[in-house]
Amino acid sequence: GAVVSQHPSRVICKSGTSVKIECRSLDFQATTMFWYRQFPKKSLMLMATSNEGSKATYEQGVEKDKFLINHASLTLSTLTVTSAHPEDSSFYICSARDLMEQFFGPGTRLTVL
């Protein structure tokens, strides 16, 4: 199957700093990428849908000014958590769509102290 990578896999930062997470489709071009957030023992919650070359579509309740998404190329999307706070600590997972299926990255564990 297609491969999606995420970097970093784990990040610890101080409150107030910004953190960038990269999502790459390694062997296919993805016109659409998705960003999810997962809390312990909870479902994956879709945060936003990112289309190459256009603005991301955010789900209700997700602050677009806090979670900046850029999809500058067909193989790369980035999520920047701005002015991170402890409540932003979570597991963030991206996925990329290839024709009929979504392929998921390995996730990024963000801990904000």
Residues that bind other proteins (CB under 8 A): 1, 6, 32, 34, 41-44, 46, 49, 91, 93, 95, 97, 100-107, 109
Q: Nearest approach, Cβ of 83 to other proteins (angstroms)?
A: 26
Task: Give residue for tokens 């677009």.
Answer: 64
Question: In this complex, which beta carbon is closest to other proteins, that of residue 27 or of residue 101?
Answer: 101
Tell me which amino acid residue 73 is.
S
Q: In a 3-state reduction of DSSP, which class is residue 86?
A: helix
Contacts of 47 (CB under 8 A, 6+ apart): 35, 36, 37, 58, 59, 62, 67, 79
Q: Nearest approach, Cβ of 96 to other proteins (angstroms)?
A: 11
Question: In this complex, which beta carbon is closest to other proteins, that of residue 78 or of residue 95?
Answer: 95
